[in-house]
Amino acid sequence: MIALRIRFITGRYHATPWGRHVNEGAVEWPPSPWRILRALIATWHRKFSREVPEQSFRPLIERLTDLPVFYLPKAALGHTRHFMPQKDPLGADKTKIFDAFVSIHPDDDIIVVWPHVTLSPEEGGVLRSLAAGLSYLGRAESWVTAEVLERWDGDFNCRPVEAGVSVEGERVRMLASMTPDSFATWKMGYEAKVVGDTSMGTKAGRKKKASQSPVPPDLWSALHAETSDLQKQGWSAAPGSRWVDYVRPNDAFHVMYQRKPKIEQIRPPTVARFALSSAVLPCLTDAVFLGERMRQALMAKSRGLNGSEHALHVFSGKGPDGFRLENDHSHAFYLPSDEDDDGWIDHMTVYASQGFDKHAQQAIGMLRKLWGAGGHDIHTVLIGIGQRQDYGGFVLRDGQAPTLAESRIWRSVTPYVLTRHPKKNGKDSPAEQVAKDLLRRGFPNPDRIEQLDHTKITGKKVRWLEFRRFRSGGGGQIADSCGFGFEIVFSEPVRGPIALGYGCHFGLGQFVAVAEACET
C-alpha cells in the first residue's frame, strides 16, 4: 500500500466538481482521484521535470490510476458571495459569484490510500518529492501540505462502491482516471464508433466527425489536457476519465458548535512618553518642579472624562474621598529626564503600574503644554504609549529610555530624600531605607548598595544639595532634606523605572539603568 497525508493549512478546500457551474455552490468532497493525479503531474512539470525524467515519472502515475480509499475528517460546508465586474472596467455590470468551499480544521488530515499499489524505491522517492512540492489542491487558494506515509493503520470512511455490495452512507459521484489498459480499450471502441457513424454518410454523422476533436494518443496525454479546452471541444467527460460511485459518511458535513475561546484581555498601557520643547527648558536639578507641573496638567485634563468632577485617581493618587492612598504606588510616577546629557530636561515619562484606561489615555492625548517657570510654556509632544519593554533601552537615537531599561546596575540621577530619621544605633540608615523601599516595591534584595556623593551633568559633578528637594505643595513624609545618592547592584537584571523615597512620584529618588559595558 501507499498513502498520502494531505492537510489544508488555511482550513478551506475550494474545488468545483466536473460538469458543475461555480454558482451552483457544489463542492467536490473528497478530492477526486482525477484531481489528485493532475495535481501531481502539475507539480512535476513546475518543479521536478528537469530532475525527474518523464520515463521515471510516467510509471508512477500509471500505478496511481488504481482507485484509492479515503479517511475524511469532520468538515462543514461554507460559502461567500461576491459581486464581480464583467466587461465594464468601472464595475457597472456586476454579477454575483458564489464561492463555495469545504471547511476543515487546519490540523486535521485527509488520508488517501492506494491499498493495492506497491512502489519501487525510485518511484517512492519521486512521490515523496512531489508530495513535498505540492502547494495547493483544487483552486489556488486551497493551500496544502502533503507527505507520503509508508503505511497507515487507521479506518477508512470513504471508499468505492462495489457492485452488488450494500453499504451505508451517502453516495457521491467522483471523477477518476482510467487505467492505461482500460484507456486503450476505450479509445479503440470510441474511434470505431465514430468511424461507424460517419461511414453512414449522413449529414449528422459528417457534422459530428467535423466537430469532433482528436482523442489523446494515450492516458498520459489525456491527463495533461486543459479542462477549459475539453469543455470548449464539447467533451461531456474528460478523455481518460471515468465516473465512480464512492460512499462517504452521512455526517461528512457536520457543523460542530464550540464555545468561543476566551479572548485574553489586552493589558492597558502603563507608559506614556513625552518630548518637551520650550524657549527655556528646566534644568535637571528642577526635576521635582516639572514632575508636579505634569501631574497638575494631567489631573486637569482628566476631570469629567469619566463622569466625575474629580481627577482620575491614576493621575492624582487619591481615592474618591480625596485622601491620598497610603502605601499604594500603582498610580502615576512623573519622571523628568535629560536624555541628551545637556543639563536640560527634554523628556517626561509617565508610568503607572495599574495601567491607563481609555479615559486616562484620552487625557494623555489632550495634553499639549505645561506652565513653566519664568512665564515660558513647555510644549509636550506625545511620542509613544505602551509598555515598559517597548521603550526601555540604551540606544537613545531610537527613542529608548534608560529609565525603563533592564540592568543589574542602577545609579541615582536625582537625590533620594529620606522618609525616616537614621538612628544612632545604625538602624534606618540611608542604605537600609533604600533596601526596604526596594523590597516594598517588589524588587529583589540587592547584592550591594553603595552611597554616592554626587551625580554628573554634562560631565560635571553636581552634588545632591544643588537639586530642588521639596515639593511646592502637597504632603509626603520627609525626614532629612539633604538628599543622598546610591549605586544599586542586583544579582539579576531588573526592569525600571526605579524611583524611591520622598517625592518619588514627582522625579525625586530617580535611578537610571547602567549598561553593563558602561559600568565603569
* Average pLDDT taken over every residue of the chain: 86
For the chain, give every domain's residue range: 2-178+240-248, 271-518
Mean pLDDT of 34-48: 92
Q: How many residues does this entry show for the chain?
A: 520
- Cα separation, 338 vs 460, in Å, equals 14
Q: Is the pLDDT of residue 205 over 60?
A: no
The confidence score (pLDDT) of residue 520 equals 42
Mean pLDDT of 278-305: 92
Nine-digit cell string for 428: 534606618
Which residues share a beta bridge with 350?
A: 272, 334
pLDDT bracket for residue 216 (50, 70, 90): confident
Q: Is the pLDDT of residue 251 over 90?
A: no
Q: Is the pLDDT of residue 83 over 90?
A: no
pLDDT above 70: percentage of residues in the chain? 88
Q: Which residues contact 82 (CB under 8 A, 6 or more apart)?
A: 96, 97, 99
Q: Is the pLDDT of residue 466 over 70?
A: yes
The confidence score (pLDDT) of residue 70 equals 95
335 neighbors 499 (Cβ within 8 angstroms): yes
| Rg of the Cα atoms in the chain | 39
The confidence score (pLDDT) of residue 325 equals 66
* Residue predicted with more confidence, 255 or 341: 341
Q: Is the pLDDT of residue 100 over 70?
A: yes
Nine-digit cell string for 498: 526605579
Q: Is the pLDDT of residue 208 over 60?
A: no
Mean pLDDT of 373-386: 85
pLDDT single digits (tens) 479-513: 878 899 999 999 999 999 999 999 999 999 999 99
Mean pLDDT of 22-50: 89
Angle CA(168)–CA(172)–CA(175) in degrees, nearest 5? Answer: 140
Which residues share a beta bridge with 75?
A: 104, 253
Instruction: State the DSSP string of 433-495.
Output: HHHHHHHHTTPPPPSEEEEESEEEETTEEEEGGGS--S-SSS----S--S-BEEEEEEEEEEE
Task: List Cβ<8 Å contacts ≥24 apart for 118-124.
Answer: 118/1, 118/2, 119/2, 119/60, 119/63, 122/56, 123/56, 123/59, 123/60, 123/63, 124/2, 124/148
Buried (b) or exposed (e) across 64-102, using 16+ Cβ within 10 A? bbebbbbbbeebeeeeeeeeeeeeeeeeeeeeeeebbbb
343 conformational bin, left if phi > 0, alpha if psi -120 to 50, beta if neither? left
Q: Is the pLDDT of residue 324 over 90?
A: no
Q: Is the pLDDT of residue 22 over 80?
A: no
Q: Is the pLDDT of residue 220 over 60?
A: yes
Q: Is the pLDDT of residue 210 over 50?
A: no
Helix or strand run (H / E) with residue 295: helix 287-302
Helix or strand run (H / E) with residue 100: strand 94-104
Task: For the full predicted model, state whether its pTM sits above 0.85.
Answer: no
Q: Which of 26-35, 436-445, 472-481 has the lowest mean pLDDT?
A: 472-481
pLDDT bracket for residue 201 (50, 70, 90): low
The confidence score (pLDDT) of residue 34 equals 93
Mean pLDDT of 303-317: 87
Mean pLDDT of 110-138: 91
pLDDT above 90: percentage of residues in the chain? 52
Mean pLDDT of 100-128: 91
Mean pLDDT of 27-54: 92
The strand ranges marked E within 225-345 are: 241-248, 271-277, 333-337
pLDDT bracket for residue 411 (50, 70, 90): very high
Q: Which of 75-89, 176-190, 205-219 has the lowest mean pLDDT?
A: 205-219
> Which listed CATH number (1.10.3470, 1.20.58, 3.30.70, 3.30.1360) goes with 2-178+240-248?
3.30.70
